[in-house]
Amino acid sequence: MQRTLSDFKKAFGTHFVKIITIGGIYRSEFSLESSILNTTVDTDFNIKQAAEFKFTLLAEDNNYAAVKRQVSPLFELFDKQYLQASFNEQFWNDYGVKLSDAVKNVTLTFYEYNAHRGCLNINSEHFNPYANLHDENACNTVAHKYRFGGLFTGKCRKIKNVLGGDHSCISNYSQHAVFQNVNPKFNLYFCYSSEPFSAHQTQHVYFGGIYTDVFKNPVTKDYSCPSGYDIIKPLVIFKSDS
């Protein structure tokens, strides 16, 4: 059933045109100096002929342009007001309601799956060009910036924090668990500080994101580090097909 509804959505889309307004007029305006109107009758006749010729072409043109459209969600086609004209009351009671609900659910699911909420106010510092659904809260969010204090693993692994050279955070930094595995036990942490950032401090590094062979780095949108950044491999997993 879901496969059929999915194919239905692919074939017919999510909306239908309910009302369309066609037409429109292309009007050419020009002005004449008063001295021209005082010329000979032949000149006046030529001007009138040119105007009549333009109007004739306009009258014969039947390639109308859509100047206004009113669309509605596709599932409204299965409402009682549309189906009752073609089917009887019994059909609506037996199948119409279920059909309408099914098409509505698959359409709304499609909307939700493809919704990317974010700030669409282009004048906001939190403007998100990838969003397609406005979220006012995203525009009003206060950005919190933290200083990145390195990355390290538990002592069973050899990866130490590049700042301080140990399996811990440096002074005034707190650790936050990124990944923990019980069997075998593996802990991964990154360090951050909520203190004001100072460009004159020497004991800090810049965080360039995290990525794997499957998930892209949200910073670069690729399976790589930003330019000028070094790679730290905190976790390597070996697998066998046997």
For residue 73, is pLDDT > 70? yes
pLDDT of residue 235: 59
165 and 83 within one domain: no
Helix ranges restricted to H, 64-184? 80-83, 89-91, 97-113, 136-140
What pTM did the predictor assign?
0.36
pLDDT of residue 138: 85
The domain containing residue 193 runs over which residues? 146-242
Task: Decide if 154 is inside a domain.
Answer: yes
Strand partners, 119: 127
pLDDT tens, 124-143? Answer: 888 888 888 888 888 887 66
Residues 8 and 55 in one domain: yes
Number of structural domains, the chain? 2
Mean pLDDT of 24-35: 55
Query: Is the pLDDT assigned to residue 79 strictly greater than 80?
Result: no
103 and 176 in a single domain? The answer is no
Whether residues 82 and 162 fall in one domain: no
The residue out of 113, 135, 158 marking a domain boundary is 113
Output the pLDDT for position 53.
Answer: 47
Does residue 180 sit within a domain?
Answer: yes
Q: What is the pLDDT of residues 188-236, one digit of tens each?
A: 665 655 566 555 555 556 777 777 777 788 878 888 888 777 777 665 5
pLDDT tens track for 139-186: 887 666 667 777 777 666 667 777 776 777 878 888 877 766 655 555
Average pLDDT score over residue span 36-55: 52
Same domain? For 6 and 109 the reply is yes
User: Are 91 and 152 in a shared domain?
Assistant: no
Do 100 and 179 belong to one domain? no
Instruction: Please indicate, yes or no, whether residues 218 and 160 belong to a single structural domain of this protein.
Output: yes
- Residue 223 lies inside a defined structural domain of this protein: yes
Most confident of 21-30, 79-88, 122-131: 122-131
- Say which amino acid occupies 161: N
Same domain, yes or no: 88 and 183: no
pLDDT, average across residues 50-71: 55
pLDDT at 242: 39
| Residues 105 and 17 reside in one and the same domain | yes
Listing DSSP states for 162-216 in one string gives TTTSSSS--TT-EEEEEEEEETTEEEEEEEEE-SPP-TT-SS---------SSSP
Q: Which residue carries 């669409």 as its tokens?
A: 120
Dist. CA 63–CA 134, nearest whole Å = 37
Does 171 lie in the same domain as 242?
yes
Look-up: residue for tokens 């790679």? Answer: 231
Q: Is residue 119 part of a domain?
A: no
Domain annotation covers residue 200? yes
212 in a structural domain = yes
Q: Evaluate whether residue 228 is within a structural domain.
A: yes
Task: Identify whether 128 is part of a domain.
Answer: no
Number of residues that this document lists for the chain: 242
Average pLDDT for the chain:
68
